[in-house]
Chains A and B, each alone.
Chain A
Amino acid sequence: MDVAGETHRRLVVVGHGPAGHRLVEALRERDAAGAWRITVIGEEVRPAYDRVALTSYLTEDAELAFPAHDPDVTLLTGDPVTAIDRAARTVVTASGAVIGYDTLVLATGSAPFVPPVQGKDLPGVFVYRTIDDLDALRDHCGARPGASGVVVGGGLLGLEAARAMQGLGVDTHVVEVAPWLMPRQLDEGGGQMLRRHIESLGLTVHSGTPMAGLEAGEDGAVGRVALSDGSAVEASVVVFSAGIRPRDELARGCGLEVGERGGIVVDDACRTSDPSVWAIGECALIGGQVYGLVGPCNSMAEVVADHLLAETTGVAGQAAFAGADTSTKLKLMGVDVASFGDPFASTDGALDITYTDPVAGVYKKLIVSDDARTLLGGVLVGDAEAYPTLRAYVGAALPGSPEQTLFGGVEPAGGDLPGATVICSCNNVTADHIRCAVRDESLTDVAGVKGCTKAGTSCGSCVPLVKKLLDAELVAAGIEVSKALCEHFEHSRAELFDIVRVTGITTFTRLITEHGRGRGCDICKPAVASILASLGNGHILEGEQATLQDTNDQFLANMQKNGTYSVVPRVPGGEITPEKLIVIGEVARDFGLYTKITGGQRIDLFGARVDQLPEIWRRLVEAGFESGHAYGKALRTVKSCVGSTWCRFGVQDSVGMAIRLELRYRGLRAPHKLKSAVSGCARECAEAQSKDFGVIATEKGWNLYLAGNGGMRPRHADLFAQDLNDETLLRYIDRFLMFYIRTADRLQRTASWLEALEGGIDYLREVIVEDSLGICAELDAAMDRHVAAYSDEWRDTIEDPEKLRRFVSFVNAPGVPDPSIAFEPERDQIKPVLLAGPELEVVSR
């Protein structure tokens, strides 16, 4: 109680690191009544900062400070607590201040472990813990450019320190006593692979070799590190990073129980042997363990905040520390390293599956239960893309076979993950946490979940999973997951398509005024542009339509990585005359373009600047070429084998049919790009079954396959109908394409569209063959209109001076080429060179 007789309770937090900071934040956020008066006493001169990001302070001058506490929190820095009087409930600081508490939380952290070797106190020997340590290290290295140095400890932090030291211009060696690097996270194979990566970056690794001692150099500072095998490494700087020891000296001094090997003993609510005293973070021994990761420290802070709140609200505190997921993923010197679950296969009967690619520097290992069904853990080095998904599956049934999982064919986990699955390991948020938050707080978007649970707010790798859980929960609650295209339209693409079709609206402005709100964005504008184009509203660059197009459609070419474009003339069926080949060759030569035959039987010309496109196309159009639409969500190519004309096995003219299909559907705008192929016999040389629509010749006609694709998630097409004659084949494809164009979502491939179609291929057959919806006449008419209205976009463009005006690099200097575009030779042709942007162009990074 304070003087005024109010019922404030006094909380003193000793230590202002990440754990202490998190506790204060959590308490302040939830203590709406302001029942707690908080005093935080820090040893360092600075308030709490993000220790996890220490290296970025050294290498990039990053600002590490956490957001300051609100003014109601009293923060004393640079004045360490020297004693605790538990009977009087006071703490005493170095400056002599005596501060009383009702509740005391020790968040004193840990200190780097420095083994008791000879020479450990020589000048030039550092630890890697605080900003002051780093400043001292930087000053020392700065005065010794090109010198060599040693990091003692090849664990996570040791390697961080090594990277930082190398960045300071020091020739860096890492000495690790274990046989491989990161022995606490990685198995031997992973550790060895990591070593290869690290050594390729110019560091030297000595593993399995304990250090014997440090020797002074001529200047009295450290000069050499002696190893136990008798060898030595020259080192004018040494950093110890060989583990941590809990800072429990204050607790010892006041008689609190501490562990045999250090650490303040606490129960699963983080309470010490004195009920008024709590301990959190790296100084706490909880469940017999001391944790050195930020995730568990945050969890402990949240647990204590919960109990402290309970004390003032009268509701009993429930929170308990439930152990911690010690999974880690990091990018160490550009190398992905991840370890999750039980990476050492300590479970009985555990099996492991290992994949090693020494050339690519990839090592992957999964640990599974003895029946190979349950994922127990794993190690990933060199490629950790699958980490978030795999980590979420730890303890659960694998979604596929272990080898499928290992080779990356895993869809991200869905909303049905077990409740205890840790989704966000940075903040230790489980699936159930997220589900409860969504239900209790009526959350409807990812931002809300982040704000409420902190999931996804640190490294962000779990955000896709968070989204899936959220959506599943909304669906379960009967809340419709919004199909809105974006913030400007409530409608799905299919609904908008119908609105445009039925109302006859031909402009974006009218559509958004009457059926949406605001002015549109990069999501709805191209979608509407595609709808307008599918319904035949003239040239895509005409009038307002020009403003809706993605850059590819805007310049009728495909944007490549340096801002140049590729030019792809249509070559129907892949059949081309020598004269036309020569024209392509001449154009490529005259404009200095890189030339490549594509997978779709086209010739791609790369490296054209915006201002070169009209002249290139003038030459191509004159020679009889048309736009290949390689830029649009439109029909790309119809691939073909040589067919019965040339092939001794061919049973039909596949080239003739491919040309016929390509010319019929050229320029057809769709929700996603479309590809097709025609094979002249069952040998399937054109790979028609991996296409949106594929045709395979039979003795009696054509077999039609629908909704396959290559791409990230390949899908074989389904057999739709057999032995069709030419006219029926075309009609079925017409109807399929038009039905897809009308009803698919934005950027949805035919494959996922069919998968989402209730009733699947059978339903599609009812619609297309039996006309169950009574729309076939309409679909046919729509396709006939498209075929009749086709006109080559590039011919129309080069004939229109108004459209051509936009094909300049600079509006104030139309003749000047873009100086940022540069190339260098490779294999007798050119490749793009990205010029780093001038520093001033980007305000901050």
Chain B
Amino acid sequence: MTADVQTGPAHTAPSRTATRWHDVCGLDDLMPERGACALIEGVQVAIFRTFDGELFALSNYDPFSGAYVIARGILGTRGGVPTVASPMFKDVFDLRTGQALDDADVALRSFEVRLTPQDRVEVALS
């Protein structure tokens, strides 16, 4: 995997205020196929590392249960879409966009995440 994995919506605005990256943890702190939660400026961000080394970051808040638990979900795929299933009521979300797969009206916020050449994981809140 390349060292600069970016996720989130492709419409990264070109010339807005500079993206502020937050150092979160080392790549080794993330188990492949599992998530971990980071607290960044009071925002709970669920960070996931898939088997092939890709990184994703979504809000940790599960809108279906009202609890902050998304990071503890099981990763997987559905029809090729990388997913996480909330551990609370098993609602499944697209890891790339946060979209709930069974409810078009609900989407988790997604964040940009990248890996530095030093194998540090960084997340941008906006």
> What 0/1 pattern do residues 154 to 179 of A give for CB contact below 8 A with B?
00000000000000000000000000
Known: A561-B65, A563-B68. A547 touches B32 (CB 8 A): yes
Segment with Cβ contacts to B, from A186-194, A298-306, A472-480, A811-819: A811-819
- In the complex, what distance in Å separates the CA atom of A555 from the CA atom of B73? 12
Contact assessment for A522 and B74 in the assembled complex, using a CB-CB cutoff below 8 Å: yes
List the B side residues contacting A487 at CB < 8 Å: 78-79
Residue of A488, A526, A805 near B74 (CB, 8 A) is A526
Task: Tell which of A544, A548, A805, A843 touches B98, judged by Cβ atoms closer than 8 Å.
Answer: A843
Q: How many A-B residue pairs have CB under 8 A?
A: 134
User: Does A366 sit at the interface, judged by CB under 8 A?
Assistant: no
The B42-101 residues at the A interface (CB cut-off 8 A) are 42, 44, 47, 50-51, 59, 61, 63, 65-69, 72-80, 83, 85, 87-88, 90, 92, 98
A811 touches B29 (CB 8 A): yes
User: B109: which A residues are within 8 A, CB to CB?
Assistant: 840-843
Given contacts A521-B76, A522-B76, contact A810 B67 (CB under 8 A): no
**Complex contact B87–A845 (CB within 8 A):** no
Q: A550-B87, A811-B25, A820-B44 are in contact. Are A559 and B69 (CB under 8 A)?
A: yes
- The B-contacting residues of A in range 289-312, CB under 8 angstroms, are none
Asked if residues A551 and B72 are in contact (CB atoms below 8 Å), the reply is yes
Q: Which of A547-593 contact B (CB under 8 A)?
A: 547-551, 554-555, 559, 561-563
The answer on a CB contact under 8 Å between B106 and A547 is no
Given contacts A525-B76, A550-B87, A844-B107, contact A820 B68 (CB under 8 A): yes
B37 on interface, CB distance cutoff 8 Å: yes
Q: Does B5 contact A (CB under 8 A)?
A: no
CB <8 Å contact, A841 and B63: yes
When C-beta atoms are compared, the residue in chain A nearest to B71 turns out to be: A811
| CB closest chain-B residue, reference A843 | B107
- B66 contacts A836, C-beta separation under 8 Å: yes
Q: A521-B83, A841-B59, A843-B108 are in contact. Are A820 and B76 (CB under 8 A)?
A: no
Asked whether A551 and B63 contact (CB < 8 A) given A812-B40, A843-B98, A844-B107, the answer is no
Residues A547 and B69 in contact in the complex (CB < 8 Å), given A518-B77, A811-B47, A816-B39? no
Interchain CB contact (< 8 A) of A547 among B24, B31, B63, B105? B31
Kindly state whether residue B38 has any CB partner on chain A within 8 Å.
Answer: yes
User: Would you call A546 an interface residue if the criterion is a C-beta within 8 Å of the partner chain's C-beta atoms?
Assistant: yes
Give the bracket for the number of chain B residues in contact with chain A. Answer: 35 or more
- In the bound assembly, the distance between CA atoms of A524 and B85 in angstroms comes to 12
* A113-125 to B contact mask, C-beta < 8 Å, 1/0: 0000000000000
| A519 touches B (CB below 8 Å) | yes
Within 8 A of B (CB), among A356-384: none
User: A509, A525, A820, A843: which has the most chain B beta carbons within 10 Å?
Assistant: A843
**How far apart are the CA atoms of A487 and B76 in the complex, in Å?**
11
Q: Which residues of B are found within 8 Å of A522, using beta-carbon distances?
A: 73-74, 76, 83, 85, 90, 92
Which of chain A's residues 512-559 have a Cβ closer than 8 Å to chain B? Answer: 518-526, 544, 546-551, 554-555, 559
Contact A810 B39 (CB under 8 A): yes
Taking a contact as CB atoms under 8 Å apart, the answer to whether A806 and B31 are in contact is yes
Please give me the residue from chain A that is nearest to B90 by CB atom.
A522
Give the nearest-CB partner of B87 in chain A.
A551
A520 → chain B closest CB, angstroms: 5
Closest to B98 in A: A843
Residues of A within 8 A of B107 (CB): 842-844
Flag whether A834 is at the interface (Cβ < 8 A): yes
Within the complex, the shortest CB–CB distance from A419 to chain B, in Å, comes to 30
| A809 beta carbon closer than 8 Å to chain B | yes
A837 interfacial contact with B, CB 8 Å: yes
Which 8 pairs show the lowest CB-CB distances between chains A and B? Answer: A521-B76, A551-B87, A522-B85, A563-B67, A547-B33, A811-B36, A522-B74, A843-B107
Chain A positions near chain B (C-beta within 8 angstroms): 487-488, 509, 518-526, 544, 546-551, 554-555, 559, 561-563, 805-806, 809-813, 816, 818-820, 834-838, 840-845
Beyond contacts A525-B76, A843-B107, A845-B105: 4 other A-B pairs, Cβ-Cβ < 8 A, are A522-B90, A524-B76, A809-B39, A843-B108
Could you name 17 residue pairs across A and B whose Cβ atoms are closer than 8 Å? A520-B77, A526-B74, A547-B34, A555-B72, A559-B87, A561-B67, A809-B37, A809-B39, A811-B25, A811-B47, A812-B40, A813-B38, A820-B61, A834-B67, A837-B66, A844-B106, A845-B63
